[in-house]
Structure 1
Amino acid sequence: MKFDLHTHHYRCGHAEGEIRDYIESAISSGLIAIGISDHSPYFGSTEEQAQPLIAMGKSEFPLYVAEILQLKEEYKDQIDVLLGVESDFFPDVAEFYRAEYIKYPFDYIIGSVHQVSGVSIFNRKRWNKLTESEKVRDKELYYELIQQSARSGMFQILGHIDAMKGFYPPFSEIKTNAVDEALRVIGECKLAIEINTSGSTKDCGGWYPSDDILERALYHGVEVTFGSDAHKPSRVAEDWTEVSKRLKEIGFKDWVYFKQKQRQVVLL
């Protein structure tokens, strides 16, 4: 029973294809469910599109939801099309996001941290000239934001929880207890983390999070789900079989997806 909860499309400005293209790819790949979860607008600004080429404009958001709901009905006899969104988490404006999301019948919301101290986690230059202690500080700030997002009550899933290693693989070797503390909080809050296979498109390779984090997630009782983070239709469900096998080797018995914000358990 294959599913993929993390896909994008043209509205975000840095992905290819229509929503329909991702659904068709999912059907061709034998999925039972496909989640559409494009980047939400930046609701913390009065601008229509504060982050062009990163996230959709505000006026596009209701059109995005309406299109998915229409396609959900159209494809109901072939595949379960799920209404999702990938949401940034900014503590100071989180309530603006919460107020927008409550307007729509989301099946799930993915909470992702993409910025730390106002700088993208994927900015290759952010690590230049930092001392070792400053690198620890940035990693701990990242996981503090992840903890806050878990406690916010806004999300069912937390996205790519070690993606800061994307263009800086040594990130994984920075020693701190912050990762375990974040996993403990995620487990207590009963959120799922995704195994996100888009790491293969970055310098770090592989997927997010790393095996050692998944092992610690299992210890802390954290549930897992799958997301390709596809930005082109051909990547839908990429590495699904390999991830499923690795999770079983680590010791997971099942994983989950969400429908009407209710977890659906799928045996591995």
Structure 2
Amino acid sequence: MKFDLHTHHFRCGHADGNIRDYIEAGIQAGLQVIGISDHSPFLCSEEDQAFPQIYMAKSQLAEYVQEVLELKKEYEGRIDVLLGLETDYFPEYVELYRSTLAKYPFDYLIGSVHNIEGVSIFNKNRWKNLTKAQKVAVKEGYYELIAQSARSGMFQILGHIDAMKGNYPLFSEIAAVEAVDGTLKIIAECGVAIEINTSGKSKLVGGWYPSDAILERALHYGVEVTFGSDAHIPSRVGDEWELVRTRLREIGYTEWVYYKEKKKKTVPL
């Protein structure tokens, strides 16, 4: 069973192609299941599309859902198309997101932390002139938000849980083991899966999220895993799926999961 739960398309403003392009790419890649999970609208503003190069417009959400559901029917028997969404975790707006997204029949939601204190996690300039202690505090704050997102009960999957290393590879060397392990314990207790996300190759770090070291500790704490290419171009759908499966087996995993109608489906590795 080959699946990819993390794909985007033109509505988010920073991906190429339409939903059909990604489904067709999934078929070409030999997938049996593809999840469409574009960025949710930014609900924290009265504007319809506050950040047009990051999030879809509020007015596009219903049409996005409808298009995926129509394509699900069209491709039935060829590939299982799942309705997903990647949404940021903003603690102060969690109930707004919960109530808004509850109106739609999502198969799963991916919760991702993309901002800390109003600054993108991919902004490498944030690290300039910080002391060692300040860097540790930033990393601890990042993992506290991820832990909160797991506790929120909103998400089936947590996205790229060490993506802060994307444009700052030294992030992995910042000593905050207790924060990472504490977050992994909470994720396991909450029954939320983490994704192995292969899009890090597009950043300075040039690798997957999360690191092997985190995956080893995740296994120790009983955290379940899934796969997401985080494709922003159709050709990346299913990218490095076989390599990820092999690595997970080497680490000691025997299965991974995906979600349909918010119910977990377990797949042997």
Q: What TM-score, normalized to structure 1?
A: 0.99
Q: 1:172 matched to which residue of 2?
A: 172
**Matched residue SS, 1:41:** coil
Aligned partner letter, 1:263: K
Distance 2:168 2:40 in 1: 26
Which residue type is aligned with residue 42 of structure 2? Answer: Y
Aligned-residue sequence identity (percent) comes to 65
Q: Which residue of 2 aligns with 1:56?
A: 56
Q: 1:90: how far off?
A: 0.2
Aligned to 1:244: 245
Whole-Å separation in 2 of the counterparts to 1:59 and 1:70: 18
Find the aligned partners of 2:19 and 2:36 in 1 and give their Cα distance.
7
Cross-structure match for 2:260: 259
1-structure distance, mates of 2:57, 2:96: 15
Residue identity opposite 2:3 in structure 1 = F
**What residue identity is the alignment partner of 1:153?**
G
Q: Deviations over 1:107-153 (max 9, x none)?
A: 00000000001100011211111111110010000000000000000
SS of the aligned residue for 1:59 comes to helix
Q: How far, CA to CA, are the matches of 1:133 and 1:253 in structure 2? A: 38
Runs of 4+ in 1 over 6 A off after TM superposition: none
1:52 deviation in Å?
Answer: 1.5
Distance in 2 between the 1:120 and 1:6 partners? 20
Q: In structure 1, what is the equivalent of residue 228 of structure 2?
A: 227
Q: In 1, distance between residues paired with 2:85 and 2:183?
A: 22
Q: Quote the offset at 1:50 in angstroms.
A: 1.2
Deviation at residue 246 of structure 1 after TM alignment: 0.2
Could you say which residue in structure 2 is the equivalent of 1:66?
A: 66
Once residues 50 and 93 of structure 1 are traced to their aligned partners in structure 2, the CA distance between those partners, rounded to angstroms, is: 15
- What's 1:3 paired with? 3
2:62 aligns to what SS in structure 1?
helix
Q: Which amino acid aligns with 1:23?
A: I
Equivalent residue, structure 2, for 1:148? 148
For structure 1, the 5+ residue unaligned runs are none
1:61 and 1:150 map into 2 onto residues whose CA distance is 24
User: How far apart in 1 are the matches of 2:141 and 2:47?
Assistant: 27
Tell me the equivalent position of 2:187: 186
Equivalence map 1:9-88=2 (5 Å): 9-88=9-88
**Partner Cα distance (1:158, 1:56) in 2:** 20
What secondary structure, in the 3-state scheme, does the structure 1 residue paired with 2:154 have? coil
The 2-side partners of 1:115 and 1:55 are apart by: 14
Aligned to 2:202: 201
| 1:71-102 Cα distance to aligned partner (Å, 9 max, x none) | 00000110000000001000001111001111
TM-fit CA distance, 1:44? 1.2
Say which SS state the counterpart of residue 32 (structure 2) adopts.
strand
SS at match of 2:257: strand
**Partner amino acid for 2:119?**
V
TM-score, with structure 2 as normaliser: 0.99
Take 1:129 and 1:37, find their aligned partners in 2: how far apart are those partners?
36
Task: Quote the Cα distance in structure 2 between the aligned partners of 1:50 and 1:185.
Answer: 32
Q: Distance in 2 between matches of 1:155 and 1:61?
A: 18
Q: Which amino acid aligns with 1:248?
A: R
Q: Within 2, Cα distance between the matches of 1:42 and 1:120?
A: 14
Alignment correspondent of 1:158: 158
Letter in 2 for 1:61: L
